[in-house]
Structure formats: structure tokens, C-alpha cells
């Protein structure tokens, strides 16, 4: 049996080498994070990389890169808005 499964660790499926790199560096490099994989997903903001990392309940880790900081910030604000609705018990977008 896989050692990770025996220890109860989540297996992750990274969408790209960048997704894996940012996930491994998240504690040192992310500026902000929100959510949980048990809710709408976990999201992390990486300002210098102009990227947003996302992990879902199935262990899939993806990253979205943006050409500008403004574009990234607009998406990040949308994520925060959806989480605010979720936490208030309001209807949210089914997929962020």
C-alpha cells in the first residue's frame, strides 16, 4: 500500500510544475489565503508571481497566472466576495 495512504495524507494532483512549486512554497511566499478544501476550495494569493493557487476537496491543485496585478486582484476580490457570501449562508457560484 502507498505509504502516503497508510499515513492518511492527501494525495495531490498538480496541474503544472508552477502549481507544485507555489504549493510547496505557500507558507513562505503567499500574501493571503482564504477558504478550506472542505468548502468552496482553498485559495492563496501570490502577488510577486501574479498568481492564485487553488486546491479542491479531491486534492487537485491548480494555478491561474495573470498578466497584470490589477487582473489578479480583480479575481482575488471575486474569490473573497464569494467566500463572504458562503459564510453568510447566501447562494454562491458553484465553481470558482
Instruction: Give residue-wise pLDDT tens across range 12-61.
Output: 899 999 999 999 998 888 999 999 999 899 999 999 999 999 999 999 99
Instruction: Give residue-wise pLDDT tens across range 59-79.
Output: 999 999 999 999 999 999 999
- Confidence (pLDDT) at 94: 62
Confidence band, pLDDT 50/70/90 cuts, at residue 93 = confident
CA-nearest of 50, 55, 9, 10 to 30 is: 50
- Confidence (pLDDT) at 7: 39
Q: For the chain, where are the alpha helices, taking DSSP H only?
A: 3-6, 17-29, 69-87
Amino acid at each position: 500500500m502507498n505509504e502516503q495512504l497508510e499515513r492518511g495524507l492527501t494525495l495531490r494532483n498538480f496541474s503544472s510544475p508552477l502549481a507544485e512549486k507555489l504549493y510547496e512554497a505557500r507558507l513562505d511566499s503567499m500574501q493571503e489565503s482564504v477558504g478550506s478544501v472542505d468548502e468552496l476550495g482553498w485559495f492563496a494569493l501570490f502577488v510577486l508571481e501574479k498568481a492564485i493557487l487553488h486546491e479542491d476537496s479531491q486534492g487537485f491543485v491548480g494555478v491561474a497566472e495573470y498578466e497584470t496585478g490589477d487582473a489578479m486582484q480583480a479575481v482575488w476580490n471575486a474569490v473573497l466576495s464569494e467566500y463572504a457570501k458562503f459564510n453568510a449562508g447566501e447562494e454562491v457560484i458553484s465553481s470558482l
